[in-house]
Structure 1
Amino acid sequence: MIKKMDSYSPFQLSVVIFLFIEGTAILMNLATDVGRDAWIVPLICTFIGMFLFWWFLYIIRHSEQKTIYSLFKQSLGQAGGSILGVIYITYFIYICARDMRDFSELITNAVLPSVPLEWITLCFMATVMYVLWIGEQNFINLFVIFGYTVAAIFIVFVVLVIADGQFDFHNLLPIMGDGIGPLLPSTFTQVMEFPFGELIAFTAFAGTMFPNLPGKVVRAGVFSVLISGLLITLTILIELITFGPSIRERALFPLVSAARNISIGNFIERIEMLVIFAIMLAAIVKVCIFAYAALQGVVWYTGKAYKSLIIPYLLLTTVISYYVSNNMSEHIIVGLGFIPVFIHIPLQFVIPALLLILILIKSRWRKQNDRSIV
């Protein structure tokens, strides 16, 4: 059985969700195919993401189960539930490995180009391993500190962008000059799944953090999704007004490039290091959440001690991270092209929708049986 976690506040959950969504989403070059309208895509997906998070928690809450793994077993039986559980554990580990690779590539390309990728990945893995090892209560409290730090850094970043004055709002015009049609592919086959659909990871443990998932918890989470989505929209707006859609499309890490362009009086410069530090904190949270979601599944199905699984599964994730792509270009193409359509959509939307239908049917049958008995 999964150990019941200590009490947490809705605010703590909202901070973790905020960092989880920002994670690698502010790092990647999203919606490049729509050029100057790229900022509209995450804005639309923010409201879809708010519904998705409510929907994910509704499934857990309505099923009266604490985790998605116990829901699988309840809905599909021991055999079917175990198979589906293994699929989701594998999914969480794989996405965890991809996120680990994202951050390792950032450090290799922007900070330490002479350090081999494998060493960067090992150092990042060791950090994640330690965070998970200190226990749920401690790493949640640590993530709250991360949240304050990231928020402060981005406030400073926005103020410096404004103070620098090297931006052009004409880069955003005309807004939706080609209509809404070109925005739909990026909306429904990229940004909706990454990062908002990835919130399904919280179904692996949210019910143990907050028994019965009270309304204030759901509202705090939905509000956090709203703030996170607006921040992603703001970062893309800054990228566009700073150097335009054509340069943004070619940039490997556009937010870092935008921060690098800041120069106030030839004195305040190299702001990208602060931004990279903020991205690092958010990336640690995202990788930890995916790893924790996978580990909770392994604990549920095997009954093994949580801490005994951290080292072997994080080492496995590190190996997958290193071999998941041959280079960054391939990594981005697969991550923003193949993965959303063929992996994210089935596991984030199709299976949860089928589970919800099954839950509602069983609930209706149960009520009918109760009436017939009476």
Structure 2
Amino acid sequence: MRTHHIGVREVASIGIIFIITKIFLPLQRLLTDNGGTAAWIIILIAGLLCPLIWWGVRGVLRNGTQGSTLITATEEIWGPYLGSMVNLAYFSLFFIITFTVLREFSELLTSDILLRTPLKVILLSLLITAAIVAYSGIEAMGRLCWLTIGLIIASVFITLVGGLMTHSEPNALSPFWGTGRTHVLTMGIVKSSLFSELLVLGFLVPRMRKTEEWGKAAWWCMAISSIVLFSTTIVYLYVVPYPTATRLNVPMFEISRIIIFGRWIQRVESLFLIVWLLCAVIKLSIAIYCCASTLSQMLRLPRTQPLIIPLSIIIYSFALLPASEMAAVAWDRDILRTYGSLISVCLPMATWLAGTVRRKWRQP
């Protein structure tokens, strides 16, 4: 398999966009449903636990042969049969991320922006664009992410500042523990799956020229992603206090709609819409690439691109399965963001432990 090199900036940018795109979906509302005024504590705990994913991925890669990815190293450690089952779990995670994000973003456009456009047209438009980007390869996606990451972060920052300037509730975080300390702490551990997309580092860091730069890219990715998710959640509570915060469908979009920068600058959501769509397409392209790359490595195919088109057709079919927008959100909330940490945290950690034990047994 031909491989090319990417740098720290590209790896970190891909990881950041892959993780933070969920802020444009009902993330903040779902966290508020779970934690009430303590929703920010849930995301804080999840952010503190996200290094576990990276440590597990790094341990797996170090126990594999030089140049191995997360998929090939997992098969080397567990063997062809058990390793294929673990890799199939990774594929399932990326696949669920892909079709749920596709459906949720399409529903957002249909219900709030393009009211007369059929859902299937929006699904196909997003999916075809994402598939084309994914077909260009990980190097092209890395450069695209590096070029757009500044614009995306800036749009989020302007939205948050504008929302606070327009309206802010001083006592928004009271009571401190929201729905209860035990419940909030439990949800913080469960919602560590909000960072499940960090598994993408298992595909990216082996392509870097220097192994000593792995940690630099990973920590930049985790730090910026955690800050963005935390800041959007806590600002949302200040701008839209609880319990009203549990009733808005797409929090970030609603915040952008109420922003008023003086008398002549109002209704700025149209300025950020293109940026958010770009972010959605990039996330979908990364997810499609990870699905195709996982399958190609499991099947030992020399190239990833031939799998992108058939996978896109299957993704489109699965995106139509949820009966409604709320059903799609429920799939994300009850399946992906509840049990995702079992795949993103437990499996890499178990594989790392198995690889360490195997290596010690083989030493004379």
Following superposition of structure 1 onto structure 2, how do residues 1-374 of structure 1 map, counting pairs within 5 Å? Answer: 2-5=1-4, 7-28=5-26, 29-32=29-32, 33-64=34-65, 66-164=68-166, 166-176=167-177, 180-189=181-190, 191-194=191-194, 196-203=195-202, 205-210=203-208, 214-300=211-297, 301-303=299-301, 305-323=303-321, 325-342=322-339, 344-367=340-363, 370=364
The answer to whether the 8 A contact 1:37-1:172 is kept is: yes
Could you tell me how far 1:252 is from its partner in structure 2?
Answer: 0.8
One-letter amino acid of the counterpart of residue 255, structure 2: A
Aligned partners of 1:217 and 1:69: how far apart in 2? Answer: 17
Please give the alpha-carbon distance, in whole angstroms, between the structure 2 residues aligned to 1:162 and 1:326.
36
Percent identity for Structure 1 against Structure 2? 20
In structure 2, the CA distance between the partners of 1:364 and 1:56, relative to structure 1 (3 Å rule), is: same
Query: Residues 136, 206 of structure 1: CA spacing in aligned structure 2 closer, same or farther, 3 A cutoff?
Result: closer
SS of residue in 1 equivalent to 2:30: coil
Return the offset for 1:10. 0.8
Q: Is 269-278 or 285-294 further displaced after alignment?
A: 269-278
Q: 3-state DSSP class of the match of 1:115?
A: coil
Which amino acid letter does the alignment assign opposite residue 215 of structure 1?
E
Distance 1:235 1:271 in 2: 17
Please identify, of 331-340 and 235-244, the stretch whose mean Cα deviation from structure 2 is larger. 331-340
Question: Deviation string for 1:41-64 (max 9, x for gaps)?
Answer: 112211211332233223212333
Q: Any idea what the Cα deviations from partners look like across 1:216-273, whole Å, max 9, x if unmatched?
A: 3213322321121111111112211112111111111111111111123342222223
8 Å CA contact 2:61, 2:69 repeated in 1: yes
Root-mean-square deviation (CA, aligned residues, Å) is 2.2
Which amino acid letter does the alignment assign opposite residue 363 of structure 1? R
What are the Cα deviations for residues 275-300 of structure 1, in whole angstroms up to 9, with x where unaligned?
A: 44333222222222221111112222
Which string of whole-angstrom CA distances, capped at 9 and with x for unpartnered residues, describes residues 273-328 of structure 1?
A: 334433322222222222111111222214153222221111211111122x1111
Unaligned 5+ runs, structure 1: none
The 1-side partners of 2:137 and 2:115 are apart by 33
Please give the alpha-carbon distance, in whole angstroms, between the structure 1 residues aligned to 2:35 and 2:110: 28
* Structure 1 contact 72–85 (Cα < 8 Å) conserved: yes
1:87–1:160 Cα change, 3 Å:
closer
Q: Following superposition, which runs of at least 4 residues in structure 1 exceed 4 angstroms of deviation?
A: none
Q: Assess, with a 3 A threshold, how the Cα gap between structure 1 residues 163 and 360 changes in structure 2: closer, same or farther.
A: same
Deviates more, 1:270-279 or 1:224-233: 270-279
What amino acid is aligned across from residue 49 of structure 2 in structure 1? Answer: I
For 2:207 and 2:90, how far apart are their aligned partners in 1?
20
SS at 1:84's partner residue?
helix
- In the TM superposition, what is the alpha-carbon distance from 1:19 to its structure 2 partner? 0.8
Contact 1:11 1:220 in 2 (8 A): yes
Distance 2:179 2:136 in 1: 52
Does the 8 A contact of 2:64 with 2:74 survive in 1? no
How far apart are residue 214 of structure 1 and its match? 2.1
Structure 1 residue 177: deviation in Å?
Answer: 6.1
Q: Which amino acid aligns with 1:316?
A: I
Distance 1:77 1:275, change over 3 A: same
When the two structures are superposed, what TM-score results if normalisation uses the length of structure 1? 0.88
- For residues 172-204 of structure 1, what are the alpha-carbon distances to aligned partners after superposition, in whole Å with 9 as ceiling and x for unaligned? 223236763231232122x2102x12312332x
Shift of 1:151: 1.8
Q: Which stretch of the first structure deviates more once superposed, 110-119 or 330-339? A: 330-339
Tell me how far 1:207 sits from its aligned partner.
Answer: 4.2
Report the AA paired with residue 320 of structure 2: Y
In structure 2, how many angstroms separate the alpha carbons of the residues matched to 1:351 and 1:182?
A: 25
Structure 1 residues 280 and 13 mapped into 2: Cα distance closer, same or farther (>3 Å)?
same
Partner deviation per Cα, 1:122-162 (whole Å, 9 max, x = no partner): 00011101111223222211111120210221232234234
The 1:159/1:349 distance shift into structure 2, 3 A limit, reads: closer
| Cα distance in 2 for residues equivalent to 1:319 and 1:9 | 35
Q: d(CA) in 2 for partners of 1:140 and 1:279?
A: 18
